A and B are shown apart, each in its own frame.
Chain A
Amino acid sequence: MAAYTIDIERKGRDGLLEFRSGSVKVSTRCWWDPGMIIDAKPGGYTGISTTMATKTDSVTGEPRPAIWFGKGVSYNGGARRGDGAFIHEGTGASWSDGCVVIARIEMMRLIEAIKPKGQYNVTINITDARSSGGTPRKPVA
């Protein structure tokens, strides 16, 4: 089974998401909620291509294609932990409550290159070029 890698480099208020598989190369700007910053993790996260039943694709209206980070993702230096982190389409940080978002056209190129889908064959690496900026959201009381 082929393994894929998504590299996310945070550079401040946005970042660069890169993916390569054969002739498919994605190098695109990405965004996230500055109050919910996914922690970088040694070895990366093991993700799975999927669709989000609670959201629709902005063009087709079908369930939105996405990459799920898996359970127990840490945010804000370990202050929060959750199971709902995805990479999916979006055009800016305001579309995110913690997910990483990229332009739809790039998301579709990335998703369509992953075969087979629905397998834990995607490694997601997150690095910080410098401080990611933003103020982490205060924990729920």
Chain B
Amino acid sequence: MTRRNLRIAFASAALFAATVQASADGPDRNAFLMSTLLGLDTSDLFATGTYTPEGERAALEAIYTDLRTKAGADDIEANDNIVRFAFLGWLAEARNDSALSESYVLDLQALFDKRGDAVMGAVAQAPFLVPNFCATLARFFFHGDNPPAERFNFFMGIEPQMRVLFGPLDGARCTVAYYDVKS
């Protein structure tokens, strides 16, 4: 990860107030995500004697599924949860998490199909997420049995509103990231 992206990650992680507190209910979400992003030991975030690697994996998956649900909700918290969910997709790429990436490529498209403008508007709040977000939209068309050729029509359909919501600089970054995906 470059220094620039690391600074971005720290700045964005400020959105997740870090309250480190071991709990029998699982690790503090914000501290856990920060430690996961940085590749730090998370064992002290779990109640004494309860940490296991598979439990750590389960905790990450639980955060993902929770935010996936909340991002799709029609409530006043949805906007913030969309950004948090997009952050998880970014984290999956940053941490080379194959399984999370596989899930995210499908889940993001499902969310986008449901409320694309709201999703783009939310992602626009955290511009460092734009390249991963746009690349993930493109990757959907190479996933499973999806038709790669359809990605061109898809982007043409969203591009006008995307440029409004992202602005010229991030709009250009989105376009580059989208078309940089070749498989």
B5: which A residues are within 8 A, CB to CB? 140-141
Contact (Cβ within 8 A) B99 A85: yes
Flag whether A13 is at the interface (Cβ < 8 A). no
Q: Which of A1-9, A14-22, A67-75, A123-131 contacts B (4 or more CB under 8 A)?
A: A67-75
Contact (Cβ within 8 A) A99 B98: yes
CA of A98 to CA of B143, assembled, Å: 12
Question: Looking across the interface, which residue of chain A has its beta carbon closest to that of B54?
Answer: A48
Contact (Cβ within 8 A) B96 A82: yes
Partner of A99, one of B54, B56, B61, B102: B102
Contact (Cβ within 8 A) A140 B54: no
Question: Looking across the interface, which residue of chain A has its beta carbon closest to that of B106?
Answer: A55
Chain B interface size range: 20 to 34
B183: which A residues are within 8 A, CB to CB? 35
B92: which A residues are within 8 A, CB to CB? 84
Q: Report B113-155 CB contacts with A as 1/0, cut-off 8 Å.
A: 0000000000000000000000000000011111000000000
B105: which A residues are within 8 A, CB to CB? 97
Contact (Cβ within 8 A) A94 B142: yes
A70: which B residues are within 8 A, CB to CB? 53
Contact (Cβ within 8 A) B98 A84: yes
Partner of B65, one of A36, A53, A66, A86: A53
B80: which A residues are within 8 A, CB to CB? none
Flag whether B64 is at the interface (Cβ < 8 A). yes
Partner of B97, one of A50, A82, A88: A82
CA of A81 to CA of B58, assembled, Å: 19
B interface residues (Cβ-Cβ under 8 A, vs A): 1-2, 5, 53-54, 56-58, 61-62, 64-65, 68, 92-103, 105, 107, 142-146, 183
A interface residues (Cβ-Cβ under 8 A, vs B): 33, 35-36, 48, 50, 52-55, 66, 68, 70-71, 75, 80-86, 88, 91-92, 94-99, 118, 140-141
